[in-house]
């Protein structure tokens, strides 16, 4: 009998197939004692296992490239954390086996994060994966993960670690469903990059029996269990129509009446550029530079290394627009040389621009490298700062850009509600705004972006979030400047129309979403988008806002 479940759709497309579950977690090692003379040997075993796991994660990252590479390199750094190593060695010294010491040390660190209110819940999921990989290697058992199958299937998991998501084979994994996660979790971001339909935050997903046929709609978040032939045909027809529309939609982004909305790509490094170019991106709206800094948590990369990496991306978009975000470290992206190690609440501490202003040499080197990388190129370079709170922040960043001799537009990301509320003041110091809707939602609703239990508050359709977008866009228009969106909200085709109606001047997203957004925008006039935006803001909940906008655009 057909039943319908609803989670959070995070990656477009429809997948129909049999359920296969992720392997179960590594069993807890026995708590047996070792004699003192074995301690050195066990410590060596633990050290070797950590090194092997870190090397494997880095190798997986090199294969995957792009955003996945940065995430996996961060996991490798986590595995090699000196404090964790010291704790493992201490536990072995008092009688634990290597596997038990690793298990207990990582469990203690996990409990510490959970006890702090799970502000680092995304890192907790990654930490679990690191623990499982090290313990499995020490026990000599295979690492549980994506099931072996010769036939395509829909993958079900409590959550997917980045190391698993990054190397999914789209020819076998038709789509995936998780119980945990949210629209901005690592799994969601990587699913969009892969172009695999995905639904997250679905309670009870693990109870779906192995072999059950389900249909996954990654756009609506609906899961149809044992769908009827009629439902399958309906979903397949809708998917085919969507694919046909995509194939005929080319060129710059625009509404049906010619209002231009540049569609840009979010990239995590040079490896993401080919997909962006193939998707027809008109430039880069968010160039995340963290990938360069994750190679070595002890020191910043050299100026020459930065110049080389930046130029690769800039050269790919001759006469296009490339918006570079300077290093956004802190919170879930700590760097030993930059971020404090003892903050009680890193998400609300010294992160983003705050870290860079505390370490002006790091900021100066990055800005100088960007200036050198853009020399002689016709690219339209724009550089923006993350986590700008007020005009003082914006002025400090603009001054640093000028002192570095950077010939580019300077901008500010709107990720803190104060920046949206005082956007016009900030625009006295910078030339553009870029809305990071992921963090803006997190700080607006006090809802950690990695915690599935509060995923409804991370929904970019929340009317309060739309109000902040509108405030920012209105301020930019009044100042004659631009205001783009580079958060995951831009990847939702329907929401892209609403954002356009709110006055947003460009949209940046993962490359796989660009054709969907281009095709959808081309169906509606600017006036229709404005009416849909007004209807969404008049609603009281995210679901009501989505429904109201859809009703306007469908002419109901």
Residue indicated by tokens 């470290």 = 329
How is residue 6 written in tokens?
């609803």
Q: Residue for token digits 């679905």?
A: 202
Contact 517, 242 (CB under 8 A): no
- Residue 169 CB: number of other CB atoms within 10 A? 11
Other C-beta atoms closer than 10 Å to the C-beta of 149 total: 13
- Which residue, chain included where needed, has tokens 């694919």? 243
| Annotated active-site residue in 401, 483, 486, 529 | 486
Pairing assessment for the beta strands 222-225 and 3-6 based on DSSP bridges: antiparallel
Q: Both tokens of residue 353?
A: 């621009």
Tokens of 417: 């509600």
- List the structure tokens of 357: 């202003």
Annotation marks residue 186 as catalytic:
yes
H or E element that contains 85: helix 82-93
- Edge to edge, what strands does the sheet with 3-6 contain? 3-6, 222-225, 213-217, 14-21, 153-157, 173-178, 198-200, 8-11
Q: Exposed/middle/buried for 150, CB within 10 Å: 0-12, 13-18, 19+?
A: exposed
Radius of gyration of the chain (CA): 24
Measured CA to CA, the distance from residue 307 to residue 323 in angstroms comes to 15
Backbone angles phi, psi at 13, to 5 degrees: 120, 170
In which region does residue 193 sit, left (phi positive, over 0), alpha (psi from -120 to 50) or beta (all else)?
alpha
CA 511 → CA 174, 445, 514, 518, distances in Å? 19, 28, 5, 11
List the structure tokens of 283: 């430039």
Report the Cα–Cα distance between both ends of the chain, in Å, rounded: 31
Question: Any idea of the CA torsion for 358, 362, 364, 369, to the nearest 10 degrees?
Answer: -160
Catalytic residue, candidates 186, 359, 483, 529:
186
Which tokens belong to 248?
């005929």
**Which of the residues are catalytic?**
186, 486
């Amino acid at each position: 009998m057909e039943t319908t479940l609803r989670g959070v759709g995070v990656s477009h497309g429809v997948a129909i197939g049999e359920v296969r579950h992720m392997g179960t977690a590594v069993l807890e090692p026995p708590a047996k004692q070792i004699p003192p003379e074995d301690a050195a040997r066990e410590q060596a075993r633990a050290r070797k296992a950590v090194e092997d796991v870190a090397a494997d994660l880095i190798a997986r990252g090199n294969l995957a490239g792009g955003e996945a590479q940065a995430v996996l390199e961060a996991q490798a750094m986590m595995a090699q954390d000196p404090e964790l190593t010291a704790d493992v060695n201490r536990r072995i010294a008092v009688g634990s086996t290597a596997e038990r010491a690793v298990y207990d040390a990582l469990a203690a660190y996990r409990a510490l994060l959970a006890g702090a209110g799970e502000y680092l819940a995304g890192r907790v999921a990654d930490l679990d994966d690191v623990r499982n990989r090290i313990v499995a290697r020490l026990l000599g058992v295979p690492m549980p993960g994506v099931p072996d199958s010769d036939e395509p299937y829909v993958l079900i998991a409590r959550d997917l670690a980045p190391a698993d998501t990054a190397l999914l084979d789209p020819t076998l994994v038709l789509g995936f469903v998780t119980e945990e996660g949210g629209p901005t979790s690592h799994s969601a971001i990587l699913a969009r990059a892969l172009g695999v339909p995905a639904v997250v935050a679905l309670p009870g997903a693990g109870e779906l029996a192995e072999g059950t046929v389900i249909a996954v709609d990654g756009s609506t978040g609906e899961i149809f269990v044992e769908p009827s032939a009629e439902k399958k045909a309906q979903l397949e027809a809708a998917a085919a129509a969507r694919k046909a529309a995509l194939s005929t939609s080319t060129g710059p982004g625009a509404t049906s009446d010619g209002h231009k909305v540049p569609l840009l790509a979010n990239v995590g490094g040079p490896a993401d550029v080919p997909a962006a170019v193939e998707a027809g991106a008109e430039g880069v709206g968010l160039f995340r530079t963290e990938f360069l800094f994750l190679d070595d948590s002890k020191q910043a990369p050299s100026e020459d290394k930065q110049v080389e990496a930046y130029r690769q991306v800039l050269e790919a978009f001759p006469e296009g627009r490339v918006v570079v975000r300077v290093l956004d470290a802190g919170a879930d992206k700590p760097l030993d040389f930059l971020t404090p190690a003892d903050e009680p609440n890193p998400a609300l501490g010294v992160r983003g621009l705050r870290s860079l202003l505390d370490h002006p040499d790091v900021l100066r080197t990055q800005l100088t490298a960007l200036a050198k990388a853009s020399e002689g190129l016709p690219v339209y370079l724009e550089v923006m700062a993350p986590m700008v709170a007020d005009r003082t922040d914006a002025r400090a960043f603009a001054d640093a850009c000028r002192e570095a001799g950077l010939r580019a537009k300077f901008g500010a990301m709107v990720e803190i509600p104060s920046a949206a509320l005082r956007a016009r003041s900030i625009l006295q110091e910078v030339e553009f705004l870029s809305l990071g809707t992921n963090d803006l939602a997190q700080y607006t609703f006090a809802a950690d972006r990695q915690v599935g239990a509060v995923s409804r508050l991370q929904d970019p359709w929340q009317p309060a979030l739309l109000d902040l977008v509108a405030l920012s866009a209105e301020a930019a228009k009044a100042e004659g400047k631009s205001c783009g969106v580079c958060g995951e909200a831009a990847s939702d085709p329907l929401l892209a129309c609403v954002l356009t109606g709110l006055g947003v001047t460009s949209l940046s997203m993962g490359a796989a979403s660009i054709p969907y957004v281009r095709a959808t925008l081309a169906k509606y006039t600017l006036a229709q988008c404005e009416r849909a935006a007004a209807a969404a803001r008049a609603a009281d909940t995210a679901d009501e806002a989505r429904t109201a906008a859809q009703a306007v655009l469908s002419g109901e």
